[in-house]
Structure 1
Amino acid sequence: MPVPSAEELTKRKRVEVGIETVSNQASTDFPGHWPGESHEWDIEHFEKKFDIRFHKYHPHDAEFSLVGIDTSVANAFRRIMLAEIPTLAIETVFINQNTSIVQDEVLAHRLGLIPLQGSKEGLDWMRWYHQPTEDDPGSGSPSDYNCVQLHLDVKCEWQEDGLKRVAQGETDPDRLYTGHNVYARDIVYTPTGKQHDIFDKEPIKPVHPQILIAKLRPKQEITLMMHAVKGVGQDHAKFSPVATASYRLLPTIDITKPIVGADAKKFARCFPRKVIALEEVTAQDVQEHPELKGQEGEAKAVVADPMSDTVSRECLRHAEFKAKVKLGRVRDHFIFRVESTGQRDSDELFLESVRLLKVKCQRIKRGLNEMMR
């Protein structure tokens, strides 16, 4: 059986990016496409070529690469992170008093979009809350294991010398009123039942306490109670654990002919910073490329950091570079960017997506076994 060379395999995995077109987009590593070659999926082969590389990590922001997987699998991880990992969010708002200019429904909507955080073990311990239905009105009953109770009780008042300052022409609300800005930090968590023990060290609170909810003026007040429950992003975006979860293919930049002198500096400006570096032409470069004879010491363009490229194709718009560079992307190298909303760490979200995909596969496997009986 013929074995393709490493150069041929690299070429097959390369998506070619032209000035106006993109070619070689379709994957060809499946059985029957290449005569005499076997591309059947094999676990040992997958383990050898699969790789995970972390580039940047922060609890709320992570960037890593998955190398050697199919697009469908990479996209499955992305969609699961967006829509199927459960989180806690405000679902029901009971408004007792709202004399602000923000309408009740708008206020409730703003509260629902505030990301919450607390003990991760406690959030995992919480169960699903099911809304009552017309057929079974008693099906859903809030309790300490499926519902979190929060309160917001704020009121705006004049400062002691506020009216005097108004008479003097003062307009700064910070010097005229107290409690005129309602922030997420004003939300108070009220534990019930077992929540006293589970959320004792890490109580439920907003991830970002400085989120502005509403603005008040003297004698205006907001008094309400909220119920937060577990949900998933496919029901409502407020339950999505990520601000965004995206991936892109690794860019490639192949300089086929040397670019030196003023052209090298112009070439570097066609890309984001640090993608192209300038080095001096050496004697070894002259041996490899005789056309560089007499140009020793001049600046030469080299690829330094292709991962930072945005593939804008700017270099292909200049006639002097068209025949000297090839742009592309690696089809099986996915650079993921996961930005967590704060309830779970960004790296945990990816691991949770792997676990959920495994559960899906096991469910399909059981279904197939049942069909074969």
Structure 2
Amino acid sequence: MATKDRNNVVILSDHVENIHGAEFPHNFPGEDLSFDIEKLRKSLNIKIWKISNNEMEFDLVGADAAIANTLRRIMISEIPLMAIEKVYMMNNTGVIQDEVLAQRLGLLPIKADPKEFAWKRPEDPPTDLNTIVFRLDITCKHNPTASPDETDPKKKYINSSVYSSDLVWEPKGDQAEKFADSPIRPVHDNILVAKLRPGQEISCELHCEKGIGEDHAKFSPVATASYRLLPTITILKDITGDDAIKFQKCFPSGVIDIVEENGVKKAKVVNPRKDTVSREVLRHKEFEGKVALGRVRDHFIFRIESTGVIPPAEILSQAIDVLAEKCRTVRNALGSIKHEK
């Protein structure tokens, strides 16, 4: 099998072929396919397509699925973050039970740099070095200026809805000075936490601690971290006329373009990256034997969506650092075993 062919996943109408990696030692005669770190360094490539404070899309090319998936899992579950861990409920007369309200509060992303805080063990007391404290004190009342016929709760009552913006940070120790330029706060101000009616109130103290997503999803810095293989679309025979237009409609917008050659409309692949690989084109008999679909096995299209606490580029950088540290740990452990022998 040619190197190019063995690197492509073949997508057919009812199944997928060539899904397993075949590049391992002694699998192909005359080829040395043993792992080579220098070869990996030369083949590995990262290209950033889109980046913002909350989203990032990049290509990881020349890597094995094991490396790509390891990075994804590290981003989800092993990058530290500060999140609400303990809720001390003084009073809650709303309709949401204490434990449910505490769970909702815990999932609020908190804008705080986890590098500035220490890990807190269960036996450690809360201090300004390992804990962030918030207060939530809110009472719903009738709005004296509201019309007697008013039906909108937001106008009829005061504090009818409790939002993340109602959390008040209470600096401890030197936290006020330390974070003067970027005060600690919820990432988003408009997250609905609960609804109240006149006479109902919520009073509680919230303690944020450092953790990782492996312990609880609230500590994960990403809303989503996913990847997909780069699609390939190969036109084997010219598709022209009305068939070209129908062929174009089988794919998402921007994947196929219609060009004119000698006055004849002809289908042309312009951006297979946008394809969702729905295989719609393989349902039509007129396209049998005219198109081949596939995916490039070592070309991963990554998409990272941050919760807003850590920028996605920093999340990727930290994930690479964690992976490197894991490799060093394994290497040192193997070295210890070798010396013991």
Pick the TM interval, shorter chain.
over 0.9
Equivalent residue for 1:297?
263
Q: Work out which of the residue numbers 259, 267, 274 in structure 1 matches 2:247.
A: 267
Q: Work out which of the residue numbers 31, 42, 66 in structure 1 matches 2:36.
A: 42
Cα distance in structure 2, aligned partners of 1:350 and 1:266: 41
Is 2:144 aligned against 1:153?
no
Equivalent residue for 1:291?
none
Q: Work out which of the residue numbers 62, 79, 82 in structure 2 matches 1:85.
A: 79
Amino acid at match of 1:94: Y
- Whether the 8 Å CA contact 2:256–2:267 is kept in 1: the answer is yes
Cα distance in structure 1, aligned partners of 2:323 and 2:215: 19
- Whether the 8 Å CA contact 2:25–2:33 is kept in 1: the answer is yes
Cα distance in structure 2, aligned partners of 1:161 and 1:112: 35
Equivalent residue for 2:224?
244
Amino acid at match of 1:125: E
Closer/same/farther in 2, CA of residues 200 and 161 from structure 1, 3 Å limit: closer
Normalising by structure 1, we get a TM-score of 0.89
Q: Work out which of the residue numbers 46, 65, 69 in structure 2 matches 1:75.
A: 69
Equivalent residue for 1:130?
121
- Whether the 8 Å CA contact 2:94–2:200 is kept in 1: the answer is yes
Normalising by structure 2, we get a TM-score of 0.97
Equivalent residue for 2:23?
29
Cα distance in structure 2, aligned partners of 1:126 and 1:235: 18
SS at match of 2:324: helix
Cα offset, 1:48, TM superposition = 2.2
Cα distance in structure 1, aligned partners of 2:49 and 2:42: 21
1:249-303 Cα deviation digits (max 9, x unpaired): 000000000001100000000000100011112xxxxxxxxxxxxxx21211111
Equivalent residue for 2:192?
212
Equivalent residue for 2:238?
258
297-306 or 195-204: which moved more? 195-204
- Whether the 8 Å CA contact 1:115–1:342 is kept in 2: the answer is yes
1:224-257 Cα deviation digits (max 9, x unpaired): 1000001011101111111010100000000000
What are the equivalent positions in structure 2 for 1:164-313 lying under 5 Å apart?
165-166=147-148, 169-281=149-261, 296-313=262-279
Equivalent residue for 2:125?
141
Unaligned ranges ≥5, structure 2: none
Cα distance in structure 2, aligned partners of 1:170 and 1:177: 10
Cα offset, 1:170, TM superposition = 2.2
Cα distance in structure 2, aligned partners of 1:45 and 1:175: 66
Equivalent residue for 1:14?
8
SS at match of 2:209: strand
Q: Work out which of the residue numbers 309, 327, 338 in structure 2 matches 1:361.
A: 327
Cα offset, 1:47, TM superposition = 2.3
Amino acid at match of 2:257: A
Moved over 6 A (4+): none
Amino acid at match of 1:210: N
Cα distance in structure 2, aligned partners of 1:297 and 1:187: 67
Is 2:281 aligned against 1:315?
yes
Equivalent residue for 1:96?
90
Amino acid at match of 1:170: E
Cα distance in structure 2, aligned partners of 1:161 and 1:41: 75
Amino acid at match of 1:24: N
* Root mean square deviation of aligned Cα: 1.2
1:40-62 Cα deviation digits (max 9, x unpaired): 22233222221111111111111
- Whether the 8 Å CA contact 2:154–2:161 is kept in 1: the answer is no
Is 2:55 aligned against 1:61?
yes
Cα distance in structure 1, aligned partners of 2:72 and 2:144: 54
Identity of aligned residues (%): 46
Amino acid at match of 2:191: I
Amino acid at match of 1:336: F
1:3-52 Cα deviation digits (max 9, x unpaired): x9xxx322110000000011111112221111011112223322222111
1:191-222 Cα deviation digits (max 9, x unpaired): 11131222121111111110011111112111
- Whether the 8 Å CA contact 1:153–1:222 is kept in 2: the answer is yes
Amino acid at match of 2:314: E
Cα offset, 1:347, TM superposition = 1.2
Cα distance in structure 1, aligned partners of 2:42 and 2:96: 58
Larger CA Rg, structure 1 vs 2:
1
- Whether the 8 Å CA contact 1:145–1:194 is kept in 2: the answer is no
Unaligned ranges ≥5, structure 1: 132-138, 282-295
SS at match of 1:367: helix
